[in-house]
Structures are given as structure tokens and as C-alpha cells.
Amino acid sequence: MSPMARGFKVVAVGGGTGLESLLRGLKNYLGRDGSRRGPAYLESLTSIVTVADDGGKGGKLIDEFGILPPGDIRGSLAALSDEEDLISKLFRLRLTGGGELGGHSFGNLFLTALIQLNKGKFLKAIKDASRVLRVEGVILPATIDHVILCAELENGTILMGEPEITNADHSPIKRVFFSKRENKGSESEPEPYNARALREAINAISNSDAIVIGPGGLYTSVIPNLLVKGISRAISNSRARKIYVANIMNQAGRTEGFSLSDHIRKIMEYGGFRLDYVLVNRKRIPQSIMREYESEGSSQLLFDPDKSDISSILRFSNGDHITLVEGTIIVEADLAKEVEEEDIRKVDGREEVEKKVVIRHDPDILADTLMDIFAAI
């Protein structure tokens, strides 16, 4: 690494598989002796994770043991583990069969056991898991309040919980908000709740040089972190560069028909801050794969100048140019990658694992592009 290389304190804010891809790439730049070389390296990497995902088998663990949602924390642990390949496979492993444990992921069960071992102390369980797995970086939940994500639709309907919100068959989303988890199942309309931010998360944001928001589902992985007012306020007050990594796909029932401008405006609306950069994929997805996504109502999100509110275009004498949308610099790169993943489906009452090809952010290209942006700061 160049002796002139600059070190950056980076905070990643998000959830889901998008955050996992980001962390897998960025961890290679940790420390001056990182495996990648260039004009920048990471002094520190902190993952601030949503705890709003209460779907699937993880939701059953939440209800039965009264714990915070483990799924997105599990993903960050696997991504930042020193033995990433093995731990990732192990943590994603879903037990098959028709019994009580059928469909549960080993990673969620592992975290649940650590939480019980630590008498319900979620943060201590994360720290213990990080030590056991030799995690590179720090993983923090945005809040440790027991909340449930709610969505008010344009037709006035209120949905409670991520499983209902991710169902494509509903009216467009008007707004999302938190309510106390204890309100789940109540017949009365859920009351909005201001979740308290974790102090360690606020400190990490305040001391950072760059904050990367996303990638991930806009309403279910990204915005839930911004609903924690202490988090969004800390980001707004921070002098760090703020970078949004847009999702590769628009999601049916959530961001259906959204332009890149729409994504940017929603981040600014819920976060209360302006973005310095937006990183968006420009690689076209093969039609053979897109057909599967389109059958579910999803579409590819690309930067389309005709559908975005371009603030200005800065042109240089060598022919290069910088496009600004909503006052934000747009950076395009070939970020999409085909990945084979396992999925659960029910066959004759039994949950079985099947493999399918999905589109994810390429961890290495995503990290390389972000490091180039950091170096230019």
C-alpha cells in the first residue's frame, strides 16, 4: 500500500443481503495491510443494522423468546467473519424437515442461544458472536427497542410487520413508521413510536469520515434505520460524506415504478439530510433472469436521465462529465452479479431447500468503486 494512502472511518447503514454484499467487499480494505491496494484504506468499519425484519422463521423466534430480530445481524456477522465462506454457508443453512426446527436458519438459532446465555442482553450476544467468529469490524443495531415496522398505504390501510409490507398485492405505500412491538395483533390502529438510537451507533456516525447508506430494500432495509431519529439526526449533523448505494431492483408493492430521483427524495425525506453521492448499477440483467423477477412484479432500477430530475451536468474539456440529480453526484458502475442461493419452499407440508439464481451487488466491484469515491473526498 502506498505510504501516502489515507485511512477512513466508515459506517455502513442498512440491512438484508445488500448490506452483506457491501461488508464482504469493504472488509478487504481494513487496516494498512489490507489485501487490496490503492490510495485509501479503512481505519474502521462499523455496520449499523436495522432490527425491523420480523418475517419468516426469525419472526417465530422473536415471538417465542422475546428477542430482537436476529436475521440482519446474522448477515453482518457472516459477512465480516474471518472465515466468511464457511460461516456464511453455515449461518444461511436452513434445517430441512417437517418438525419444529424445519426452515430455521442455523445462524438465527446460534444468535438466539447466545442471547439466552447472556440473559437477554442483545449487545453482549453480538459482541460474543463477533469474538467467536473473529469478526473484522463492529456490528451494532440501530436501536434495541422492540419495534415493529408499519406502513400506511395510499388507500388508508395500515400494514404491520415486514411480511405484510413485502406482499406485492397492495396499494402503494404512503409512509412507513415504527410502532411498539407489543401492539402487534391489536385491533386498534398502531401508534407511531420514536425508537431510541443506540449510543454506540450515534458515536460511530459522529466520528466517521464516510457514511454508506444501503444497498437494500428502500422501505424495509434502509429507511427503518432512518426512522430512528437519533440515527438520522447524527447522520445529518455529521460532516462525513454521505453515499447512497441504490438497490439493483425496484420491488413490487414498495418501489414499483420508482425512478432514481424517487429513491433519493425518499432518503432525504426520512433522513433530513442531503446525499453527496449516489452509486447506481448500470449493468443490464440478462432477460432469462429478469423474467423471474418480472413475474413477481419487480423491475431493474437504472439511471434514466429522462426519468430523473437532473440538477445540472458538469462537463470537462476531455469529454468527461458529472451528472447531478437532486444536487447529488451520480456514479454509475457495473455492480450487478449473478449468484446462486438457496430458498425454502413447501412440498407436501415439508419445507425443502431449492437453489435459484438471483442478482446481488458484486462485493468487490462495489467496494472498489466506493474506495475510489473515498479517495476523491
Q: Are 301 and 254 in contact (CB under 8 A)?
A: no
- Please check whether residue 137 lies inside any domain of the structure: yes
**Nine-digit cell string for 272:** 433530513
User: Which pLDDT does position 221 carry in this prediction?
Assistant: 96
Q: What is the pLDDT along the chain (377 residues), one digit of tens a residue?
A: 555 788 999 999 999 999 999 999 999 999 876 556 678 899 999 999 999 876 555 556 666 677 788 889 999 999 999 876 777 777 777 766 655 655 667 888 888 889 999 988 999 999 999 998 899 999 999 999 999 999 999 999 999 988 899 886 778 999 999 999 876 666 678 999 999 999 999 999 999 999 999 999 999 999 999 999 999 999 999 999 999 999 999 998 899 999 999 999 999 999 999 999 999 999 999 999 999 999 988 999 999 887 777 666 655 555 555 788 888 999 999 999 999 876 666 666 665 667 889 999 999 999 999 999 999 88
Determine contact, residues 303/326, Cβ cutoff 8 Å.
no
Q: Is residue 140 part of a domain?
A: yes
Q: Does residue 165 sit within a domain?
A: yes
| Inside any domain, residue 228 | yes
Instruction: State the cell numbers at 44.
Output: 474502521
Domain residues for 222? 6-376
Q: What is the DSSP letter of 81?
A: B
Residue 1 lies in a domain: no
Q: Residue 62: in which H helix or E strand, if any?
A: helix 56-65
Tell me whether residue 219 is in a domain: yes
Which one, of 219, 49, 65, lies nearest residue 149 by Cα?
219
Domains held by the chain: number:
1
Amino acid at position 319, single letter: G
- The set of residues, in sequence order, having a beta carbon less than 8 Å from that of 267 and lying 6+ positions away, is 213, 222, 223, 226, 244, 275
Residue 299: predicted pLDDT: 94
Q: What is the CA radius of gyration of the chain?
A: 20
C-alpha cell at 164: 405484510
Residue 226 lies in a domain: yes
pLDDT at 38: 74
49 and 142 in contact (C-beta within 8 Å)? yes
Number of Cβ within a 10 Å radius of residue 202: 21
Round to whole Å and give the CA distance between 61 and 8.
Answer: 37
349: left (phi over 0), alpha (psi -120 to 50) or beta: left
For residue 286, the model assigns a pLDDT of 95
The grid cell for 107 is: 445462524
Q: In this structure, which amino acid lies at residue 175?
A: R
- Does residue 246 fall inside a structural domain? yes
Give the pTM.
0.91
CATH number at residue 336: 3.40.50.10680
Whether the CA torsion 359, 78, 52, 200 is positive or negative: it is negative
